[in-house]
Amino acid sequence: MERKQLKIESRLAQIGSMEEQATGAVNFPIYQATAFRHPKLGQSTGFDYIRTKSPTRQVLEEAAADLESGDAGFACSSGMAALQTVFALFSQGDHLIVSLDLYGGTYRLIEKILTRFGISATYVDTNDMDALEQARGPHTKAVIIETPTNPLMMITDLEAVCSWARHNELTSIVDNTLLTPFFQRPLELGADIVVHSATKYLGGHNDVLAGLIVTKGKELSEEMAFLHNSIGAVLSPSDSYQLMRGMKTLALRMERHEKNAASIAAFLKEHSAVSEVFYPAFSDHPGYEIQIKQASGNTGIFSFKVKDSRYVEPLLRHIKLIAFAESLGGVESLMTYPAVQTHADIPLEIRQAVGVDERLLRISVGIEHADDLIADLDAALNAAVTEVEGEEGGV
């Protein structure tokens, strides 16, 4: 059976298992070499210098392209390095349309770095076609979409927006970090470029820093290859190997992440100390219908708001199984306070406009037993409420 005929679970498990022909190694080896011997003048084995091409990284990049239904994959030293490489497509005077509810690191890169080179951005709800059209100008070159967004889990209709982008000769770039190709494949819905912080779900174990780019189309893929090599923020052979190892279990982990997140989101929705839960699997979520149309499942990350901002500090202090830590997508559950961590670089007025306020918490649900995670959250929330009420009683 050809690889393209296999289900995604099989393709994930078999990453790198058939590529080493000389020895038949089931795990593709780490080629640590930075330089490769030429047979003679004018001839190459296909590998010359590690920044341009590495055997271990090549296997990873081919797997990424295959999983996202793309034409070429590029492994970078971090998710931000992947975005920086993609943004190198643009020039002075170019304008970008970007998702309103945006990961803080992406916002920082655009507003603190790209603006130095004369590139500007407008932030809109990318599911609002009128807003997209109003934001588009003569120098607009691309639309950059997070779906779901981080941290408020806003959903964009990828097929509609990518079709609009193509009609207007704009490049459509989708950050697919939260759903991964296991649950969502934006290139199949019309996107031109997909990016991942592979540090998150693809690596899956909170132990490797990496980014991935996947492109569709020969011309775009060739330009991205030039930028990838020229900028040089490439993934090392050892990290490429480690990322492939993590990706082999992606299907199993995403299924468990989704199952656990659904249980915990349902618990929090009914808790007396919680006012809102932002989770696209709920039928009352505004993006629910779009989500089930374009994705086969839901991620393990979501956000919620406590009723009183004073609950936040004691809650974070009392969680034990869940770690108060940044990042997401690993096997261990983590909780983050976006207003002062992941989204601290976004101006207060923008954070408040989209709902990233002092009551918002984000949880990345791991693969522990859901009952244990719920017990940890319940105890911490109850302790937080008791502390706050105790302070009030003592006044």
Question: What is the rounded distance in angstroms from the CA atom of residue 354 to the CA atom of residue 300?
Answer: 21
Asked if the bond preceding 314 is cis, omega within 30° of 0, the reply is no
Of 51, 166, 248, 269, catalytic: 51
Would you state the structure tokens that stand for residue 13, as one six-digit string? 């498990």
User: Does 378 participate in catalysis according to the annotation?
Assistant: no
Q: Do residues 235 and 76 make contact, with C-beta atoms less than 8 angstroms apart?
A: yes
Closest CA to 89 of 199, 228, 183: 228
Q: In which region does residue 232 sit, left (phi positive, over 0), alpha (psi from -120 to 50) or beta (all else)?
A: left
Q: Do residues 104 and 133 make contact, with C-beta atoms less than 8 angstroms apart?
A: no
Of 200, 245, 310, 359, catalytic: 200
Using CA atoms in the order 34, 40, 42, 48, what is the torsion angle rounded to 10 degrees?
A: -10
User: Does 112 participate in catalysis according to the annotation?
Assistant: no
User: Does 269 participate in catalysis according to the annotation?
Assistant: no
Q: Do residues 184 and 294 make contact, with C-beta atoms less than 8 angstroms apart?
A: yes
Question: What is the rounded distance in angstroms from the CA atom of residue 311 to the CA atom of residue 292?
Answer: 33
Question: What is the rounded distance in angstroms from the CA atom of residue 13 to the CA atom of residue 97?
Answer: 37
Question: What is the rounded distance in angstroms from the CA atom of residue 252 to the CA atom of residue 231?
Answer: 35
Of 175, 192, 239, 376, catalytic: 175
Neighbour count for residue 83 (Cβ, 10 Å)? 24
Closest CA to 236 of 215, 208, 213: 208
User: Does 371 participate in catalysis according to the annotation?
Assistant: no
Neighbour count for residue 27 (Cβ, 10 Å)? 13
3-state secondary structure (DSSP) of residue 99: strand
Closest CA to 85 of 240, 253, 231: 231
3-state secondary structure (DSSP) of residue 393: helix
> What are the angstrom distances between the C-alpha of 31 and each of 53, 241, 377?
11, 9, 44
Question: What is the rounded distance in angstroms from the CA atom of residue 333 to the CA atom of residue 322?
Answer: 5
Of 11, 31, 66, 103, catalytic: 103
Which residues are part of the catalytic machinery?
51, 103, 175, 200
